[in-house]
Amino acid sequence: QVQLVQSGSELKRPGASVKVSCRASGYTFTSYTMNWVRQAPGQGLEWMGWINTNTGNPTYAQGFTGRFVFSLDTSVSTAYLQISSLKAEDTAMYYCARDLYLAVAAPGYWGQGTLVTVSS
Amino acid sequence: DIVMTQSPDSLAVSLGERATINCKSSQSVLYSSNNKNYLAWYQQRPGQPPKLLIYWASTRESGVPDRFSGSGSGTDFTLTISSLQAEDVAVYYCQQYYSTPYTFGQGTKLDIK
């Protein structure tokens, strides 16, 4: 069965960097794009962008350019989200999510989420 | 960007009663070449990741109870829970996947009255 397992919670100081991992199993990793979604505490869902797992080409939503980088290691079926120069407002749950089917870009499989807390 | 607006922001419904959540997009998410609406609905229970309920505006994902149904086309969509159960307490989101960025609605919090 499809599984997305994310790395554990992180506590970081402002200005530091963090790298969140999302390990996929149960399917061919390079056949489906991987989305990233942010949820600030008590807030709604924000689509951050996606990465084409076949080409490695990322697409970022406005507001997630510059400090946010999506990357892959296809040898271990893992997607990464790196955030640099962390700010307090980056405190959020970050989810990776795979498209449901090849023809359905709605994320149908979700990781459990990684809580990133930025605090001095 | 396509703006998704849900209504109401919250609602409380008695067990066994019908719950209706609306979602409006700022532009059509109907793709004319295949006549499909690129609209999905998600349920997020407290402390859980979102769960896809419906895609193509009205297609239930596998395993989703048939009390959940989606309708609408173009810019106006509805999620209906025909007979509310206790486990349906959650926040519900719509999302368009017609064009990037794939924007979500602000969410609708559903409680038991």
Distance CA A118, CA B22 (A): 35
By C-alpha distance, the chain B residue nearest A62 is B101
Contact A104 B55 (CB under 8 A): yes
Averaged confidence pLDDT in chain A: 96
Q: With contact defined as beta carbons under 8 Å apart, do B74 and B29 qualify? A: yes
- Is the pLDDT at A114 greater than 90, yes or no? yes
Contact B1 A108 (CB under 8 A): no
What pLDDT, on the 0 to 100 scale, is given for residue A104? 83
- Is the pLDDT at A101 greater than 90, yes or no? no
What are the angstrom distances between the C-alpha of A81 and each of A19, A72, B18? 6, 9, 40
Task: For chain B, list residues whose CB is within 8 angstroms of any CB belonging to chain A.
Answer: 1, 38, 40, 42, 44, 49-52, 55-56, 61, 91, 93, 95, 97, 100-107
Residue of A76, A96, A82, A68 whose CA lies nearest to A30: A76
What digits encode the pLDDT tens for the residues A12-70? 999 999 999 999 999 999 999 999 999 999 999 999 999 999 999 999 999 999 999 99
Distance CA A98, CA A110 (A): 6
Distance CA B99, CA A16 (A): 33
Read off the pLDDT band of A105 (50, 70, 90): confident
What digits encode the pLDDT tens for the residues B87-100? 999 999 999 999 99
Structure tokens at A31: 């056949």
Contact B101 A49 (CB under 8 A): yes
Interface test with B, best of A104, A109, A112, A115 (most B CBs within 10 A): A104
The residue type found at B76 is D
